[in-house]
Structures are given as structure tokens and as C-alpha cells.
Amino acid sequence: MTETLRITVNGRSKEASAGWTVERLVRELGLDPRLVVVERNLDILDRARLAQTPVEEGDTYELVHFVGGG
């Protein structure tokens, strides 16, 4: 059985699986990691490190995604 982590994303309680990276979380939310700014526990994450940054119990995320057009 996979351990479930409780996190907060944009003010809403969510669950993530143990072992997920922030990149996996972003993808599971249906977003493209190349077009998202991720704030984790009040720190902006370097986009190049999303695939190496683990999601941890109690993390708080704010995600801002960019939409093209005009």
C-alpha cells in the first residue's frame, strides 16, 4: 500500500503519494511544469529542480501557471 501525504495546493487540502516529486505533482494536477511557477512553503522553487524536489508531508504549495494568447 502506498503512503499518502497530506499537502495544501492553492489553499486546498490535497493528497499526494509518498515518493512523488514536485514535477509529478504538477503533472498530476494537469499542468505543464515548464509553464508553472511553484512556491513551496513560501520559497520559489527553481524550475530546473522540480524533478529532484520531493513532496513532503505538510507542504504548502502555491502554483501559478501561464497562459498564452492575447
DSSP 27: H
Cα torsion for 31, 35, 40, 45, to the nearest 10°? Answer: 140
Say if 28 falls within a structural domain.
yes
Residue-range definition of the domain harbouring residue 34: 4-64
Say if 41 falls within a structural domain.
yes
35 close to 65: Cβ distance less than 8 angstroms: yes
* CATH (domain of 60): 3.10.20.30
Total domains present in the chain:
1
- pLDDT at 39 (0 to 100): 98
Say if 69 falls within a structural domain.
no
pLDDT truncated to tens, each residue of the chain (70 aa)? 679 999 999 999 999 999 999 999 999 999 999 999 999 999 999 999 999 999 999 999 999 987 766 6
The C-alpha cell that represents 45 in the structure block: 522553487
Say if 37 falls within a structural domain.
yes
Say if 60 falls within a structural domain.
yes
